[in-house]
Structure formats: C-alpha cells, structure tokens
Structure 1
Amino acid sequence: MNVAPASAQAGNYPDRPIKLIVSAAPGGTTDLTARMIAEPLGRALGQSVVVDNKPGGAGTIAAQLVTRSEADGYTLLLQYSGYQVITPLITPNLSWDPIKDFAPVANVLSAPQVLVVRSDLPYKTLKELVAADKKEPGKLNYASSGVGSLQQVSTELLNQMAGTKFTHIPYNGTGPAMKDLLGGSVDMTMTTPPPLLPQIAAGKLRPLAMTGKSRLPSLPDVPTAAEAGFPDLLVSSWFAMYAPAGTPPEVVNKLTKEIEAIMKTPEFRKKAESLGAEAQYMGPAELGDFTKQELKRWDTVVKAANISVQ
C-alpha cells in the first residue's frame, strides 16, 4: 500500500497541478467524462487538473501507473467500469487489485447500453430478434470492442436470460466494431449511446432496447429492456474516479465534495444528457460498495459464458 507524505495530509492540498490518468484513448466516453470533470474541478481547487490518456491492456496500463504513484492526491485515475470490474475477472495474474489498490473518490457518469441492429435487417423489437435467433441459433452475430468488454458481457447476459446464442465477434476497440457493423459484416451490438446516436439519427442503425431503468431523453422512443420483456437486463457503464490506496481521507473528501457540487450544476447535467448519460454521483463509501457488488455480479456472468483472456 502507498504511504502518503506528510505534506498531503496538511491543509494546503492541492498546491500544484493534479494529473488525471485516463484508461482510454481520446474521444471515447471515458475520455469525455475526464475532460468534463477536469476543467471545473481545476477551477474549484485552484490548480489545473491535467488529463493524461494512457490506454491499453484493458485498463491495466493506467491502473498500474496510478497504483505505483504516491498516495498524495496528485495522481488520480478516471476508470471505465468494464476495466475496473471485468478485466480483473478475466485476466490471470493481474498486477493490480480493483479493491485493495484504490481509494474510491466518486462516480461521475453512468450510461446505459443500447442494443442496435443494422437498419437493413427486419427486426423491429427485441422479442423479434430473440425469436429469430431461436429459429436459427448462432446465425446472428454481435460486435464488441474486445473480449471481456462490457459490450460482450452485456450481450452474454442477454444470451443467458433469453436462451439465445448470438455469436460474438470481438474487435480491437469500438471504432473498428462500428465500422464493420455499418459495413454489414456483423448484425448488432450493445454499447453506450455516444457512438450510436449519430448513426441512429442517420437511419443506419435501429435501436431495439436500452438497458437503463428509464428511457433516455435522447432516445425517447426506444423502450427499456424491461418494457421490451427483459426486466433483469439492467446494465450501465460507469465512469469513476479513484486515487491510490492510502490517500489521506481529507484529500479524498475534498475531491469528492467538489465533484459532487460540479455534478449538480445544470451545465454538467446537460453535457451528460447530450452523451446519452447521467450525472450519477456516488461518494467514496457508496462507490466502494458498488464496485464490490459489480465484481460479484459480473463474475457470475463471465463464468457462465466462459470468458477469459489467455
């Protein structure tokens, strides 16, 4: 466990810029979340919060960098839930622990998954899609951003609930997956709204259901999974901030209070909504408990689907 220097425990935090390590490349929802919170957080703290993208290794490069940093509040992690709670379940001999190596700070955004098919396919509802697969099991396939991605485990959860056998086609990222989906090589995907909304608006993809508790303002005509007949298909990607384990509680508390205040502003909430996401604050204790619950939930799905990275 990292030990914080005495200076971090004094009342002068922060007295220099803070580095916010992001586990994904620029342009995705993880990066957008980091940039949404970094600028106003920097203003509130009186020091710049510098976004530093460190993609790779399904979140491991960023996680390792943060866990090996001083526990002084000057190096933080903006992490995607798929990396924080699924990578540890499917990766043998992982060099970091999602619970022991981190001090939870705050959840910033949560976004449901949206299940879409190519618009040239005949399916208008999720029940029609499920019925088609049951008629010819495994003929329909789905794209994901990689083995163990939330896109994969969400669709495998649907397979388990519906008794379907949608075939997994993994890609190296959402971009290549979307390219082949739009090009007709694959039939469907389930992912967060940002990369889907322009293609839905252009009529290239047809949304069948979304996995939140309520409909999205940006997609008001798309039913929830519960409305579509699958009430237990509740899945959200979440994007949360962590500090290295051992970061002083007073530093964590200062960060989380400022983040909570920022997230309550109309400006922040409007930005979140434009992404098809929700400004869903969780403080350190709640985020810590939620992380453990998510690990337990997805462990069951991962084992049933036999998902692993060798």
Structure 2
Amino acid sequence: MFTGKISFISKLGLGAALAMAALSTYAAPPTTVVVAFPPGGPADTLARVVAKQLESSLGSSVIVENKPGGNGAIAANFVKRAAPDGHTLFLSSAGAISINPTLYPHLTYNPEKDFAPISTLVSTPEVLVVPATSKVKSVKEFLDLAKSKKEGVTLSSSGIGSMPHMAISLLRIATKANILHVPYKGAAPAIRDTVAGQVGGFFGDISGLLPFIQDHKLTAIGIADSKRSPKLPDVPTFDELGFKNVYASNWYGIFAPAGTPKQTIDALNKAMQVAMASEDARKYAETSGVEASVISPDAFAKLIQQDTKKWGALIKAEHITVNE
C-alpha cells in the first residue's frame, strides 16, 4: 500500500521530497500587533483578546508588542516603516490618528498617507468621575462648586491632546465653568490622584474607569455620549442635562502600513469581524463597558476624516499646544 509514495520519492529524490514536506507544514510568518499604550491597560487587554482570536483566522501566531509614548507617535512611526504585507498591524485610539495631526505641527508621520485603515474594534464614551470622598455627587453640584470657588475646580486628564482633554474642553465651553485642566502622563497616575482627592475629578474612557467606579473609589456623574451606558444606567449624558455638543467618544482601531494590498486589507477586516464576534471579545466588551464596532475600511476612513476635522477645530479654537 506504500507503492505510490515510494514511487513518488524515487522519482523526486528523497531530499527534494523532504523539502516539499517541510514547506507544506511551514507556518506562515507571525503577525505583530503594535499597541500605542503600555501593558496592562484597556487597549493592551483588547489587543490580546483580538490577537488570540486572530491566530485561528490567520493561521499563524499573533504577537502583541507595546510601544507607548508621544500620544501614540512612537508606535505609529514604527508601523509606518514596516513592510506592507499585513504582518505588522497598528492598534491605536483616535489620539494618534485624528488628534495628533493638528496638535503636533511637526508630526513625524501622516495618518492619511502612512496607514491603511482596516476597522474600528470598539468605541468607548468619556466619563466624568469625581473622588468617592467628594461632596460632589452630580454635574450640577460640580458646576456649582466651580462657580463658588474663585480658583475654580480641577479636572485631570491622561495628557495634553488626549480624548479626555478634548472632553474637558467641550464641557468647559458648554458650561462656561471655571475648570482648570491638569494633564498627567497617562491615565493611571491621573486616576490615582483623583481617587486620593488631589484633583477635583477626571475624564476618561469608561473601560479604564469602571473597576474604580464599581469598587466605590470614584463616582461617575456624567457621560459625554449620545446615550447612557448599560454599565452605568443611572449616570446621565450631558445632553440630558442640557449641555449640548459634549460628545467625546473614543475609538480603538486597527491599521496596516500604507501600500498594503486591498485584498489583504479586506481579508484582515473579515478576520476582525470574526475576532470581535467571538465569545472572548463579547465578554471583554460586556465587562469593560465598551461597544464592539467593526466597520468597513471605507467607513473607517470617513470616520477618521470627520474626527480629524472636529478635533482639529477644537484644538485651534482652544489654542491647545504641546512642547515638542
């Protein structure tokens, strides 16, 4: 019963036959997902959930590599130089793509020219929280306090030009309140000092704040979205409270280097759809309060254009600058 196989080897040569067998089982090159945030945070967790699911779709290992810094610029510059073969991907929030182009006059990458959008993965509203020990328990009380204090109130963010910073600016414009922005180098130290009562409050992604809210270390008082969060059903939107245009919803999405073939982008988009429909991704979205949102590459490109215009106008109106 081995006649056919022996005949095949004798004709081809044993060495060549073994080489072909090796090639048939040779794994595809690994795919690296470069994350613009440090390990342990919501974006890193999302990346690892997606990476695990992608391994089945892509038929190869998927590695998560963290390159935080520069509001996403370090990771962006690394990915833009990668080969456009679909094996190096960039997981970023709106900051590096839609905010940085206006914020940094000498940005070392061009989001429109250097990257090919694949899809959003999740969206997450910005939530205003105050220390659990604070006497403030509502947006009205927060604004009343701002009016009563000559120096106003402080609100921290994860950094200049971050989505929380955008939310603070929108709130200040809508309410005319005396709010002093206190930027930190990342969400973790800002949350830590807010819990300790060193600042009056903090604006941040719901995914990073939910554990502190559930542990009663922070109190959520307002959501910068068009609808309430199922995880925080008792917390009103600013629109409900009569403050219009306080919409600051962050997204996390996947990109490839510019020049990646369209068929590769389309295949990766389908892989993202499968990944975000998985049970692990569903549990991640449910527990972290984010909303899974996979869209087409064209729809993602349009969203980026809209956000770039919106946040660019706000940055210019507020004269927001950074030291480069």
TM-score, structure 2 length as denominator? 0.87
- Matches for 1:29-44 after TM superposition, within 5 Å: 29-44=42-57
- CA positional deviation for 1:252: 0.3
Q: Structure 1 CA distance, aligned partners of 2:190 and 2:43?
A: 17
Which letter maps to 2:33? Answer: L
Q: Which residue of 2 aligns with 1:130?
A: 143
Q: Structure 2 CA distance, aligned partners of 1:138 and 1:43?
A: 56
Residue 100 of structure 2 corresponds to residue 87 of structure 1: yes
Q: Which residue of 2 aligns with 1:143?
A: 156
Q: Structure 1 CA distance, aligned partners of 2:279 and 2:238?
A: 28
Q: Which residue of 2 aligns with 1:57?
A: 70
Q: Structure 2 CA distance, aligned partners of 1:103 and 1:247?
A: 7
The 1:160/1:231 distance shift into structure 2, 3 A limit, reads closer
Q: Does the CA contact (< 8 Å) of 1:16 and 1:47 recur in 2?
A: yes
Instruction: List alignment gaps of at least 5 residues for structure 2.
Output: 1-26
Q: CA RMSD in A?
A: 1.6
Q: State the identity %.
A: 37
Q: Does the CA contact (< 8 Å) of 1:112 and 1:212 recur in 2?
A: yes
Instruction: List alignment gaps of at least 5 residues for structure 1.
Output: 1-13
Q: Does the CA contact (< 8 Å) of 2:130 and 2:202 recur in 1?
A: yes
- CA positional deviation for 1:273: 1.8
* 1:75-125 deviation line (CA, Å, top 9, x unaligned): 110011122211221112111011111100010011111101122322222
Q: Does the CA contact (< 8 Å) of 1:73 and 1:247 recur in 2?
A: yes
Q: Structure 1 CA distance, aligned partners of 2:62 and 2:241?
A: 42
* 1:137-180 deviation line (CA, Å, top 9, x unaligned): 54200111111111111101111111122101111111111121
Q: Structure 2 CA distance, aligned partners of 1:238 and 1:137?
A: 36
- CA positional deviation for 1:266: 4.5
Which letter maps to 1:170? Answer: P
Q: Structure 1 CA distance, aligned partners of 2:151 and 2:47?
A: 38
2:58 counterpart (45, 48, 52): 45
Q: Does the CA contact (< 8 Å) of 1:92 and 1:309 recur in 2?
A: no
| Larger helix percent | 2
* 1:173-208 deviation line (CA, Å, top 9, x unaligned): 111111211122101011012332222223222111
- Matches for 1:185-224 after TM superposition, within 5 Å: 185-224=198-237
Q: Structure 2 CA distance, aligned partners of 1:175 and 1:289?
A: 31
The 1:284/1:261 distance shift into structure 2, 3 A limit, reads same
Q: Which residue of 2 aligns with 1:3?
A: none
Q: Structure 2 CA distance, aligned partners of 1:304 and 1:146?
A: 18
Q: Structure 1 CA distance, aligned partners of 2:155 and 2:195?
A: 12
* 1:46-88 deviation line (CA, Å, top 9, x unaligned): 1111111111122111101111111111111001112221122
1:73 counterpart (69, 82, 86): 86
Q: Structure 1 CA distance, aligned partners of 2:38 and 2:280?
A: 24
TM-score, structure 1 length as denominator? 0.91
Residue 306 of structure 2 corresponds to residue 286 of structure 1: no
